[in-house]
Chain A
Amino acid sequence: MMRLDKKSQAARLLAAHRDLLNRRISAARHAKPDLNMTGLSAWLTGPGALLVEKTAHLFPAGQTSEHFALDFIDLALLITAHGFFRTAGKPGYEKLWEDILPAGAALNPDAPGQVWGMMMNALTNLERFDGSIATKWVSLLARTASTASTLDETQSLCIIAAWRAGMAQYRTEAITALHSLPAALIPQVMGAPPHTAPDDLLQKLENDPWFDPSGAENTDFSIRHQTGGFSGFGGPFSRPPTVQTAPDGNSFIIRSGDAEFALYADAFGAVVIPGALIELPASVIRSSRGPQPSLKNGVLEYSGRKITVADRNASALTGMAFTSTAAVVYSGDSFYLTVIDLPGMELR
């Protein structure tokens, strides 16, 4: 086990509040007798020590406050109790302890617990959803976390980073959050070039779900995401999925056996959410007025423009549903969904 250097900031914090922290740990062991003390030590000497190091400047007199020490040890205990210490040291998470949590502590050095709690909850939820999204979220948030001056702004930055990391279902809330930020911050948090006009950026984001300010504009039909899959292989579907356009016209409803799901897809990701209880009235299902995209032999065609859609397992494609900006092609064999961006189409 690693040991702390006695001169390190973390060692000084633990020594300065030794009795208080010991009582806290004792209370935690009372409530959870099987608390992993090895895990706690590993976090305190690794990521925890880094966090203390990066927040030391918040206490110019050199003495951390009692409240800070309590929030710090509580964070350590919760990370240990919920098994998060196992993933806490994984590559890509250094920024969490170096930048994100220190930025949160700077908002209120005497009581960082609330903002730390919020950030850690978000990370835990994202980690549970998809570890790669969580890692990307850490990376994105690390670039902007220090720009927040209030708890609300921090919360907005967390939502926007989650959206950009791939949580497409947060699109509406993230755009609302963007509106609440200072205009000068908007290009930075969206990864747009520095001199982009914030209003133009917001308008484009609202109008085009496939617009990514950090990437080049796409003008051709293109396969943007493949998602779904059989539950036996880690996917969400236990039965062959069928896809329909949702009543809002922007997302998709998937039925797999008795289960329902919603598919949200945009430039940043495609997410299948289970249990979306959206009833689809028959009247809402798109009628066949005017030309529509067609799917034949794995080729999607619309108004003379074509794209070849290959299923991940080269299985037969079963059907297709589409919104004004995207089509979803699905396979009853592999249970995968392929999301296709349809720029320049006027399907509405």
Chain B
Amino acid sequence: MTDTSSPAQEGFTLFNRVSRSPTNPQKKKGETGFDVASLFDGPFTPGTAHTEDSTPLDEKIRKAYFWIVNNAIISPHYDIEFGDGPPLNWTVGDSKRNLNLPTAQSYSSFILLPLLTFAVRRKCLFIGGPGRGKTASAILMGVLADYPVKEVRRSMQHGQPQMTIADLLGNPLPADLVGAQSMDDIRIAWRSWLDMRVKIIDEYNRIPTRTQSALLTVMGDNYAEILNHIHECPESAWYLTANDEAGGGTYEVIEALRDRIDVIVQALAFNPRFLDTLLARIESTVKPEECVPAEIIFTAGEIDQAGEAIRAVEIPESVRRRLEFFASQFEFFETAGTQFEYLTKDTIRLSGANRQPLTAADNGRDRLKDIGCQTLNGLSVRNLMTLLLYTKALAWFRGNSTATLEDLRQILPFVLHDKLIPDPEAPFFALPENAPYQADHIGWLRRLFDLSCAEYDRLDLDKNDPVGTLSSEFELGLEGLTARETTSRLARIERAIGELTRGRKLYGPLYDDLLKLKYLHQRYTNYLHWLKARP
């Protein structure tokens, strides 16, 4: 279903054509010199080409990406960089900033992240000043999901200070309210946007707090409730917009709602060098969302298939281990408690204790070197799940069945954008060269991950990881394990703890390693008890 009211979508579909050539060409084996079918391939092929059915979905979404880059976004910024080799690099200005020219296909986060969100059906927040294309991009995503432009526009929810739950979700029918003998008799007129597979909330930080709670239920649990009546919503991709990165606005956004947002993308500034294109657009009076070609429209089934294909992408152990090491850096806070399990930043947050004296007491470690000291919090399970999913999605988008470390590195800042909160009092930010990181969260998070990987390499954890070895051994199962072997493994765990803690300061990764060893020790201990108790 496409909007047939627009002449740009009828007929031969010419200038809204998408790339016929592979968007990310990879050499295939067994190529022959010619194919008679190629006689009929070319620029004159109409949009209803029969070959489109067989287009792989990753190719289709790449075509969508390039169509948006070429037709809808006037000045894309290539801030997700990939390379086949070292990038061409220039140092510019007094502050010696790097300008990289990537050597492989690189992408614009403002287009790529919404598309990945579309494929994995998660939640994306556009931030940026007014008039930068946030809402227009969200509407494009709705059109890609096979909705007419008018329907997408009409179903977009505009945050405003008087927005009620009824405005958002629907109304009880007045006649039923008057005559009903019980709640069950009251029928609800649900708002139609609840059934859409792409949901857009414009200026979500202007929605009153109470209505935000109703929105949270829809966003988090996928259902709406009014007067004990439940309306189940389909799996959807969500696009929210806000002018303010911090979520501030007319009303402060409740934390739970902010936490439900999976990725944040910033609408970057317009480059006036593209003014001629802008002028041509004004003169032509054509809106990109009204010319979306049929070849890049996704049916509900195709989005399901894309989601399955993304989940099937492999994340190799080498990549996963670096993410584990990175995530281990942040939650640990040595002076937060006395019991080992409670030495976390969450303990301080939940207790409401004053952080400053506890930080002052933490004087044994190098707070500049410890990247965990740069944040006020750690990573949640939801953050890590989102990070893994988007890493897979990026690898899939690039036509790969296995994710690489660079996929993870590139996607990480957009997922953790407002999830890892920087500690402005950290010694790291006091260094003059690091001052810009207080404003540039994307750059800071990427730097954080690079520092973590450098430390991982320094410790040579790919080759020398005793906790990993013990964990792998345990993963083989306890079935048939003798008491003698169990006791031997317990002794090895105790020895490993002794070696790891001997004369060393406590850092996040070591803290998590020790907790893992404690876990393994407990599992073996329980098993040993069971073995001994057996008749």
- B42 near A125 (CB under 8 angstroms)? yes
Q: Is the interface of A mostly helix, strand, loop or mixed?
A: helix
Do A117 and B38 form a contact, CB below 8 Å, given A74-B12, A77-B14, A274-B33? no
- B34 near A169 (CB under 8 angstroms)? yes
Shortest distance between the CB of A179 and any CB in chain B (Å): 15
Do A29 and B33 form a contact, CB below 8 Å, given A24-B7, A121-B45, A170-B39? no
In the complex, whether B16 has a CB less than 8 A from a CB of chain A is: yes
Shortest distance between the CB of A162 and any CB in chain B (Å): 6
- Chain B 268-321 interface residues, beta-carbon cutoff 8 Å to A: 276-277, 280-281, 283-286, 291
Question: Which of A88-96, A187-195, A275-283, A339-347 touches B?
Answer: A275-283
- B11 near A71 (CB under 8 angstroms)? yes
- Chain B 13-41 interface residues, beta-carbon cutoff 8 Å to A: 13-16, 30-34, 36, 38-41
- B285 near A275 (CB under 8 angstroms)? no
- B12 near A117 (CB under 8 angstroms)? yes
Of B7, B30, B39, B281, which contacts A125 at CB under 8 A? B39
- B33 near A125 (CB under 8 angstroms)? no
In the complex, whether A270 has a CB less than 8 A from a CB of chain B is: no
Q: Bound complex: CA of A42 vs CA of B284, how far in Å?
A: 22
- B46 near A67 (CB under 8 angstroms)? no
- A117 near B46 (CB under 8 angstroms)? yes
Do A31 and B39 form a contact, CB below 8 Å, given A67-B10, A121-B45, A124-B44? no
Do A113 and B284 form a contact, CB below 8 Å, given A27-B291, A170-B39? no
Q: Bound complex: CA of A162 vs CA of B40, how far in Å?
A: 11
In the complex, whether B111 has a CB less than 8 A from a CB of chain A is: no
Closest to B286 in A: A30
In the complex, whether B438 has a CB less than 8 A from a CB of chain A is: no
**Interface digits, A12-50 against B, CB 8 Å rule (1 contact, 0 not)?**
000000001001101111111100000000000000000
- A170 near B40 (CB under 8 angstroms)? no
Chain B residues near A307 (CB-CB < 8 A): none
Q: Is the interface of B mostly helix, strand, loop or mixed?
A: loop
Q: Bound complex: CA of A276 vs CA of B44, how far in Å?
A: 26
Chain B residues near A170 (CB-CB < 8 A): 36, 39
Chain A residues near B2 (CB-CB < 8 A): none
- A81 near B15 (CB under 8 angstroms)? yes
Number of interface residues of A (CB under 8 A): 48
Do A23 and B12 form a contact, CB below 8 Å, given A274-B33, A275-B33? no
In the complex, whether B71 has a CB less than 8 A from a CB of chain A is: yes
Q: Bound complex: CA of A159 vs CA of B35, how far in Å?
A: 12
In the complex, whether A337 has a CB less than 8 A from a CB of chain B is: no
In the complex, whether A11 has a CB less than 8 A from a CB of chain B is: no
In the complex, whether B43 has a CB less than 8 A from a CB of chain A is: yes
Shortest distance between the CB of B20 and any CB in chain A (Å): 10
Shortest distance between the CB of A277 and any CB in chain B (Å): 5
Of A29, A33, A173, A261, which contacts B36 at CB under 8 A? A173
Q: Bound complex: CA of A275 vs CA of B33, how far in Å?
A: 5
Shortest distance between the CB of B460 and any CB in chain A (Å): 43
Chain A residues near B39 (CB-CB < 8 A): 121-122, 125-126, 158-159, 162, 170
Shortest distance between the CB of A248 and any CB in chain B (Å): 12
Closest to B12 in A: A74
Chain B residues near A28 (CB-CB < 8 A): 14-15
In the complex, whether A120 has a CB less than 8 A from a CB of chain B is: yes
In the complex, whether B8 has a CB less than 8 A from a CB of chain A is: yes
Shortest distance between the CB of A63 and any CB in chain B (Å): 17
Shortest distance between the CB of B338 and any CB in chain A (Å): 67
Q: Bound complex: CA of A65 vs CA of B117, how far in Å?
A: 41
Do A113 and B40 form a contact, CB below 8 Å, given A27-B16, A27-B284? no
In the complex, whether B487 has a CB less than 8 A from a CB of chain A is: no
Closest to A69 in B: B11
- A277 near B16 (CB under 8 angstroms)? no
Q: Bound complex: CA of A30 vs CA of B286, how far in Å?
A: 7
Q: Bound complex: CA of A31 vs CA of B32, how far in Å?
A: 35
- A33 near B276 (CB under 8 angstroms)? yes
Most chain B C-beta atoms within 10 Å of own C-beta, residue among A67, A118, A159, A273:
A118
Q: Bound complex: CA of A179 vs CA of B71, how far in Å?
A: 44
Of B12, B48, B291, which contacts A78 at CB under 8 A? B12
- Chain A 84-130 interface residues, beta-carbon cutoff 8 Å to B: 111, 113-114, 116-118, 120-122, 124-126
Most chain B C-beta atoms within 10 Å of own C-beta, residue among A78, A117, A126, A170:
A117
Closest to A74 in B: B12
- B45 near A26 (CB under 8 angstroms)? no
Q: Bound complex: CA of A273 vs CA of B15, how far in Å?
A: 31
- A74 near B36 (CB under 8 angstroms)? no
Q: Bound complex: CA of A31 vs CA of B46, how far in Å?
A: 17
Do A23 and B46 form a contact, CB below 8 Å, given A74-B14, A113-B12, A125-B41? no
Closest to B30 in A: A277
- B286 near A27 (CB under 8 angstroms)? yes
**Interface digits, A231-273 against B, CB 8 Å rule (1 contact, 0 not)?**
0000000000000000000000000000001100000000001
- B8 near A117 (CB under 8 angstroms)? no
In the complex, whether A75 has a CB less than 8 A from a CB of chain B is: yes
Of B15, B33, B281, which contacts A278 at CB under 8 A? B33
- Chain A 154-205 interface residues, beta-carbon cutoff 8 Å to B: 155, 158-159, 162, 169-170, 173
Q: Bound complex: CA of A77 vs CA of B277, how far in Å?
A: 20
In the complex, whether A4 has a CB less than 8 A from a CB of chain B is: no
**Interface digits, B41-56 against A, CB 8 Å rule (1 contact, 0 not)?**
1111110100000000
- A26 near B36 (CB under 8 angstroms)? no
Chain A residues near B34 (CB-CB < 8 A): 169, 273, 276
In the complex, whether A305 has a CB less than 8 A from a CB of chain B is: no
- Chain B 342-385 interface residues, beta-carbon cutoff 8 Å to A: none
- B15 near A31 (CB under 8 angstroms)? yes
- B11 near A67 (CB under 8 angstroms)? yes
Of A27, A31, A117, which contacts B44 at CB under 8 A? A117
Of A26, A33, A70, which contacts B277 at CB under 8 A? A33
Shortest distance between the CB of A170 and any CB in chain B (Å): 5
- A29 near B284 (CB under 8 angstroms)? yes
**Interface digits, B424-456 against A, CB 8 Å rule (1 contact, 0 not)?**
000000000000000000000000000000000
Of A71, A124, A162, A274, which contacts B12 at CB under 8 A? A71
Do A158 and B286 form a contact, CB below 8 Å, given A33-B280, A114-B48? no
In the complex, whether A82 has a CB less than 8 A from a CB of chain B is: yes
- B41 near A23 (CB under 8 angstroms)? no
- A29 near B280 (CB under 8 angstroms)? yes
Shortest distance between the CB of B26 and any CB in chain A (Å): 16
- B15 near A32 (CB under 8 angstroms)? yes
- B44 near A78 (CB under 8 angstroms)? yes
Known pairs A28-B15, A67-B11, A173-B36. 8 more at Cβ < 8 A?
A24-B7, A26-B284, A30-B286, A32-B15, A121-B44, A169-B34, A274-B33, A277-B32
CB-based closest 10 A-B pairs: A276-B33, A70-B11, A74-B12, A30-B284, A121-B42, A31-B15, A120-B44, A113-B12, A173-B36, A117-B44
Chain A contact residues, CB within 8 Å of chain B = 20, 23-24, 26-33, 66-67, 70-71, 74-75, 77-78, 81-82, 111, 113-114, 116-118, 120-122, 124-126, 155, 158-159, 162, 169-170, 173, 261-262, 273-278
26 interchain pairs (CB within 8 A)? A26-B284, A26-B285, A28-B14, A30-B281, A30-B286, A31-B71, A31-B291, A33-B280, A70-B7, A77-B14, A78-B12, A81-B14, A111-B11, A114-B48, A116-B12, A121-B39, A121-B41, A121-B45, A124-B42, A125-B39, A155-B40, A170-B36, A261-B33, A276-B34, A277-B30, A278-B32
